[in-house]
Chains A and B, each alone.
Chain A
Amino acid sequence: MTRAAPNIVLLVGIVLLACAAATRPDWHWRLPPGWTPPPVPADNPMSATKIALGRRLFYNADLSIDGSMACATCHEQHHGFSDGNATHSGVHGEPGRRNVPALANVAWMPSLTWGDPRVRTLEAQLLIPIAGTHPVEMGMNGHEDEIAERLGTDDCYRRMFRAAFPARDGAIDMTTVADALAAFERTLISDHAPYDAWRAGDAAALSPLARRGARLFFGPAGCAECHAGPNFSDGAFHAIAPAQSHAADRGLGEITGRASDDGRFRTPGLRNVALSAPYLHDGSAPTLRDAIKAHGEVARVPENDLPALTAFLAGLTDPRFVQDTRFSLPDYACGKRL
């Protein structure tokens, strides 16, 4: 054994401990065969109490400056946790900038906005709508402490924070709020679409037209080159149309400063996509047909293939996910009806 060996053993031990800490015994991932658990930050392990707290916070409009907007205001369950608008106005009516992304299986996404690859954890992303200014969404920039004040007046919330964050003495602050919300959002798992049954061997789960669409999607249409993997996103940033000079939204180019990145946006996942119209980063495509046709730079789909492709995409709708009461507005907290 070399002198380095003990250090390696120690390092491996630390890594294993960190991984173990990321999932507490009271929380177990229930995933389809072949799915691996999503990455979870070692300092924010999953727990049932934290998820319950995050779920309640997700629907709490006290996370916005005037109490009018919750996360759920834009991320509506019946839209696959997106909404039905091109963009969503901010808390004071500020114009929205980008289409609200759906949240199904968001735990597996390697980055979490349309145009910024630096945002790699839900804990970091959550602060953008809550306190961001480009654009203003929930309007809490400079008022973050008010969230703790509001939640701290509620005895039930104090108990929930203590249960969820015992190592932090139940602290109510932006860190614990973000950690709880992130834990809840990691549970938003959609894996019961007809497509999943079809993948598992039930050939009849998709209609003949949808099966033809699947062949196109994974074959000549080339969709799966970017809409890849179980969540139909490669996590990379692509341009599907030539970048427009003076475009209001440069996409990735806004972050990198490179003109060659202008017009590049992260590939969105497609689970429950039929429920989340309109489409594209700016919501400019009202229908799935429009969205497919907007990919002219990367995939020219013949008009007569569009019905099959849209039928296949409809097969990604998971009815159980959009009705699952574990994800909906909670009716009870601390044993009392809300």
Chain B
Amino acid sequence: MKQFLTAVLLLSAPAAATAQEGPAPCTASAPASLPANLSGWAHPVAVTAARDTAGAGRVTLLPGRGAAVTLSPTPRVDYPVRPEHPGGTVSRGGVLSFDVTSPGDYRIASSSSAWIEVARGGKTIPSTAHGHGPACSGIMKMVDFKLVLGRYLLEVAGNGQPTISLMVVRMP
């Protein structure tokens, strides 16, 4: 329960802000038991992020299902919208897509502090909150967005490692 409360203690965020949070402290020897809406995090599918908008349409994340995402060197990524924090040349990034079939609040969970942007129609969507994941869950940060029906692009920028775990979560 305490871990779940940690998960939902998100901070309100000003427009476009997806500020990083430090990881929740982990003192347990076993992985956290995740709340139901994050349970898909534990069984990720492997995908390779695209390097541009066209490719992103072929790499679709399913809400509620985790993904182990392989990224590309940042200089090889052509972002549809330039990320607010672009990442250095030695970092990794990529573009994916996901579909919103019911409007509402969505959460992007990430295993690292990489910069997360959700874009549509050539513009980024302002985030509504940010925070960190449950202790020992492997979720470093979570960013919330209010989304309407349609397809969205998920931009990942400035990741320090070649891979990242991501999950799109429909919030109740």
Contact = CB atoms under 8 A, between A and B. Distances in A.
A66 B91 contact: yes
Interface in A40-91: 59-70, 72-73, 76, 78-79, 83-85, 87-89, 91
A95 B113 CA distance: 13
Interface string B45-78: 0000000000000000000000000000010000
Contacts of B160: 65-68, 91-92
A61 to B, nearest CB: 4
B23 A93 contact: yes
A79 B84 CA distance: 14
Interface in B82-102: 82, 84-92
B150 interface: no
Given A84-B13, A150-B89, A67 B158 contact: yes
B128 interface: no
A87 B160 CA distance: 20
A187 B86 CA distance: 23
A191 B158 CA distance: 33
B22 A68 contact: no
B167 interface: no
Interface in A303-325: none
Nearest to A66: B160
Contact of B91 (A59, A61, A331): A61
A85 B88 contact: no
Interface residues of B, number: 30
A96 interface: yes
A62 B19 CA distance: 19
Interface in B147-172: 158-161
B118 to A, nearest CB: 18
A88 B90 contact: no
Given A61-B85, A73-B85, A68 B159 contact: yes
A96 B20 CA distance: 12
B88 A64 contact: yes
A85 B11 CA distance: 10
B19 A84 contact: yes
A67 B20 contact: no
A67 B84 contact: no
A66 B163 CA distance: 13
A71 to B, nearest CB: 11
A338 interface: yes
A171 interface: no
Contacts of A84: 11, 13, 17, 19
Contacts of B85: 59, 61, 70, 72-73
A329 interface: yes
Given A67-B74, A68-B160, A76-B17, A87 B22 contact: yes
A95 B24 CA distance: 10
Contacts of A65: 160
A83 B14 CA distance: 11
A65 B91 CA distance: 9
| CB-based closest 8 A-B pairs | A67-B88, A67-B91, A66-B160, A62-B88, A61-B88, A67-B90, A89-B22, A68-B160
Interface of A: 59-70, 72-73, 76, 78-79, 83-85, 87-89, 91-93, 95-96, 150, 153-154, 329, 331, 338
Interface of B: 11, 13-17, 19-23, 74, 82, 84-92, 112-114, 140, 158-161
Given A76-B17, A88-B20, 5 more contacts: A61-B85, A67-B91, A76-B19, A93-B23, A153-B89
